[in-house]
Chain A
């Protein structure tokens, strides 16, 4: 298990454009963030140091399930009759069922060190809320999770698991905040949205003493904490004397995929290794493949700083595909920088083909993958099938970010033929797009 996090900001071809204060249009200063984040995390957010030590207390907890296993997908290979070697690194072995605890543990730790007693956050599908609930529990912090009501109602077991870990999970909009009450007054039956849940969590953090806010994706420090994945992968591959020709990972806001491939970026840039890193996103929300590279707000409610990223526009609300974790209009600025510079590639896929691949995977390897993670399985299978023609013994790695045990109703919908293949009408949107603020 790695002792340090790898910071890709040290190895970028183009320096990262700073986040901007939307009021002034000027780069953010640390004090802008101090109201809701501990200083250690703010430092990490701005750091260009290549290596940052992982505190022992954090490593002790990560050891509960790390290093995560790297499997060779022998049965999938046999099923496809491919000469390719398919590996998958499985983050679903974490207690919360995904990669999210990798950063939740670190964030809870730094908040505890800073004397913070309570954390407020939001969750859409429930993965992040679960991970942070577990993490805050380990460091004796209180935690309140604002969960988008529609998914709160759809996935009641997410609330249950958060309660087991001692956190309080409330449906958003709630009666607990001004922004929640205002919405409920006008629309008592609303299913909520991630934008509203973010507003509630930020308001909660800003109005309670000793309460901070935490985010499970997009930000530099989150991606930093996830790099334990890629470092382990590199070592595990070396143990079997292999090296990836390609890594596929799903991208929503960008945390698992960057965590898996960032440690390979210097190999590609400095050692000139021929490795492809492919970000896989839903066709319904194709940020990297169809978005604009520009400064935009990170949330619908325009509360966040402006981030330089690929974006579909902060006012774009992706349709409710079953890979709920990939419904985000933007992407992590670090990832976007590397896509823009051509170091990392991006592809997009429709729900039905993704679920088809997921079922093939489950029926050969046994693991029922999360719909999000399955976006990485789809191109890996395509790639392996292509190898049958070329005879290439390509080494393919799937970043399998989580299991799908809370997503079985989505599988039901797939089998019932009820999944719609959404598509983003990029040309028509381009024609109409004039809403993104320009700086």
Chain B
């Protein structure tokens, strides 16, 4: 198991920096104290005695903590004194070369980006939450939960699923604009939450099965001649896969009559297509850990695009697992009136020919903008 800590993760939060990327020294100058090592320690404390070999990076990036913990470890990467994002990536590469079964990291969205940039979907990763921002779906709900997941993963075969790596542009974030983007896709182990499953011949239990069900249903109703704008994410990507199409996971594609008519579309492309092509519909899925369906990750689907296509032509899809994990779905298009129009109790396609009613809220109303830590860490 690869194990690394971003020692400065989370330090910017307490001193009002909204992220620590490139600002570790400023955070320390402002009096911030390290957070991540404590959180990592709390996660390891959950493990008890386990039969695993930890491969790690030197000093504060893992070695120091593992030495104290009494767990079996070996240093496979020598980190520089003031470790940086480059060290995170290099250590992750070493883990891959050593063919680890799992990579556990302690940090925030920035760390998740660095790790997943190297690992992609080659090896499952688990994030111990310690950052200022944790929008990505790789984070356990708490350090203790992370420890629990690691133990279960080693003991048996937990299911894995793909999830989006999401991060915020910190420069803009500091000036008050929340500009979230999807940066990649990672594989994470997960404990299946109790979803009410269908009593069917071969019960669909894994999240991938439900994504497929949703996709098959979508592939059937998408034959109506409309242009379908497919938002970013793995669920919409599955729809394209079922249709036998290649999808830009991180971008927005447009599909009509079984063909991709625009790949990685910009807002302007979308407006043009709606103007030219008649009836258009939008399919989006919640992105990241907090259940945003609009305004995070697919900014091309702008308020103008939604208004032109008609808010009634907005189709939300999400697996029962995802719906179970988020109390409500969130929208933040940047157009408060439109957010209000879209919010309320809405139908969310959750399987083959079935939907759930789910509360959709304007994020401006529920105040999730500035406190990701509160929601991600119990």
Interface set of B (CB-CB < 8 Å, partner A)? 194, 196-203, 217, 220-221, 223-224, 315, 320, 323, 347, 349-357
Contact = CB atoms under 8 A, between A and B. Distances in A.
Nearest to A148: B199
B198 A190 contact: no
A432 B214 CA distance: 13
A401 to B, nearest CB: 21
A190 B198 CA distance: 11
Which of A284, A313, A320 has the most chain B CB atoms closer than 10 A to its own CB?
A320
A316 interface: yes
B201 A432 contact: no
Contact of B354 (A151, A191, A284): A284
A422 B355 contact: yes
B201 A190 contact: yes
Given A319-B354, A428-B217, A432-B220, A420 B196 contact: yes
A399 B19 CA distance: 61
A193 B201 contact: yes
Contact of A425 (B198, B200, B353): B353
A432 B203 contact: no
Contact of B353 (A148, A192, A316, A327): A316
23 contacts: A124-B199, A150-B199, A151-B199, A190-B202, A193-B200, A195-B201, A316-B353, A317-B200, A318-B198, A318-B354, A319-B198, A320-B199, A420-B196, A420-B323, A423-B356, A425-B355, A428-B217, A428-B353, A429-B221, A431-B221, A431-B223, A431-B224, A432-B353
Interface of A: 124, 148, 150-151, 183, 187, 190-196, 284, 312-313, 316-321, 327, 350, 418, 420-425, 428-429, 431-432
List the 10 closest A-B pairs by CB distance, nearest first. Answer: A432-B220, A421-B357, A432-B221, A431-B221, A428-B221, A425-B355, A423-B355, A317-B200, A320-B199, A431-B224
Contact of A192 (B196, B199, B352): B199
B194 A418 contact: yes
A124 B200 CA distance: 12
Contact of A319 (B196, B224, B349): B196
A324 to B, nearest CB: 8
B39 to A, nearest CB: 29
A421 B201 contact: no
A320 B196 contact: yes
A420 B322 CA distance: 13
B351 A319 contact: yes
B73 to A, nearest CB: 38
B316 to A, nearest CB: 11
A245 B373 CA distance: 57
Nearest to B357: A421
B320 A420 contact: yes
A317 B198 contact: yes
Nearest to B324: A420
Most chain A CB atoms below 10 A, which of B223, B224, B353 = B353
Contact of A194 (B199, B323, B356): B199
B256 to A, nearest CB: 15
B202 A421 contact: no
Contacts of B223: 431-432
Contacts of B200: 193, 317
Given A418-B194, A431-B224, A432-B217, A317 B199 contact: yes
Contacts of B217: 428, 432
Contacts of B194: 418
B207 to A, nearest CB: 16
Given A187-B201, A423-B356, 10 more contacts: A195-B201, A196-B201, A317-B199, A317-B200, A318-B198, A319-B196, A320-B196, A424-B353, A428-B221, A432-B220
A149 B358 CA distance: 30
A399 B321 CA distance: 36
B222 to A, nearest CB: 8
A418 B320 CA distance: 12
Contacts of A196: 201
Given A319-B354, A421-B356, A428 B349 contact: yes
Given A423-B347, A423-B355, A191 B199 contact: yes
Nearest to A413: B196
B319 to A, nearest CB: 12
A148 B223 CA distance: 35
A429 B222 CA distance: 10
A150 B196 CA distance: 12
Contacts of A423: 347, 354-357
A320 B349 CA distance: 16
Contact of B198 (A312, A320, A350, A431): A320
A318, A319, A424 — most chain B CB neighbours (10 Å): A319
A317 to B, nearest CB: 5
Nearest to A419: B196
A404 B15 CA distance: 56
Contacts of B323: 420
